[in-house]
Structure 1
Amino acid sequence: MGKLRQNKYDIQELIQRDVYVKDKKVGVIVGERHHPNESRVQSLRLMVEPTVAEEFMRKPADFAPLSKELVHSIQANGSVRLSKSMRELQRRWRNTVRIDEKLYAPDEMLDRAVLDNQGLEIGIIKELLKVKRTYRALRIKTRLNIQMQYGVDDYINIPISALSKTRERLDEVVLSRGFDKVLQLPSFGQVNDDEADFESEC
């Protein structure tokens, strides 16, 4: 079959297909982000082969993003072939956020709601911030009620280390503790310091 053109295949046609770079099986497509704005959905979700994760990730993860632009074609046997090498895939996996042993691309994080572990919605992710080429914080646009209740600014930074899990169906990120406890973390103070040396990524 020919190349996968934009909008030619939807996720239902790609899901559960094996993914290959040349003769190496990389993993299986298991879904994509649930977001009403399709232009935000630039990545597929991939369940990665353990041997591939061991070889091509700094720290192995079970799930990782697969950029749609890397998908080249569907083969006669039903598998998906990628257009780039494993080194390109490795490079992209380095540019991710790790949450609960899963890797997420920047496009999978933007505009997600952030909740604390009690279900309180803090705000929406607007930017990812790096220090020395590693993501260290999320820039959050806080809800008005959060600003009033906790006396925080309309934008705050949440350390990546304070994230616990994602809720894929609801497009949410959940913190590891209550927001009042997050505010007391030393890492929260560090990422909100005026002298924090961030490299804005997106």
Structure 2
Amino acid sequence: MLRTRLTSRPRTVGRRALLTRIRREGYIPGVVYGHGDPLSIQIPIREVEHLLTHQGSGGLVDLDLEGTIQTALLKEVGRHPATGAIVNLGFQRVALSEIISARVPLTVVGVGHVEENGGVAQIQLDHLDVHCRAGDLPTTLPVDVSQSEIGDAIRIADLALPPGVELAQGVDPGQVVVSITSPAVPRMVEEELEASEAAGTEPPRASD
């Protein structure tokens, strides 16, 4: 399975001022732990943003540590509480044969069919926690709504998991992932209809 490669290099552990300087230079500080001593690193912010946009925040990556490749699971994405900016990252070293728990993003496909038939795909869940060998971890799981109609709901139990991939402990198979609904009636019109029905009068007509 193709994995995103992140260019990284060791960094000096220091005070907050040093971390601030690293971020100003266009890097995100991170820590790699597991299977050995923890290692403090820094990664170009553009590579981190590309990873989060295209892969999400829970997949496997190959860390290129000055020519040495280490496979790791992105476990933590720290963000500034006010701005939402990425401030730090946490990676866990893994062996491809190792059993891991991870969060996989869900990708809804077939929405065009729903919209052509007057429906709206309401996404209730955008990720799934799974348990599998690191080498079997998918980058995303598709949720196909191309055969769904208004009133249908796709639940976790309806998803086709790849071989070797299981739901993580505590995941409810009955949880709704996507529901197909009718377009919402504008609230103002809805209130006017309710008021008219209560008064026994004709609902207001739209002006020409």
TM-score (norm 1): 0.31
TM-score (norm 2): 0.30
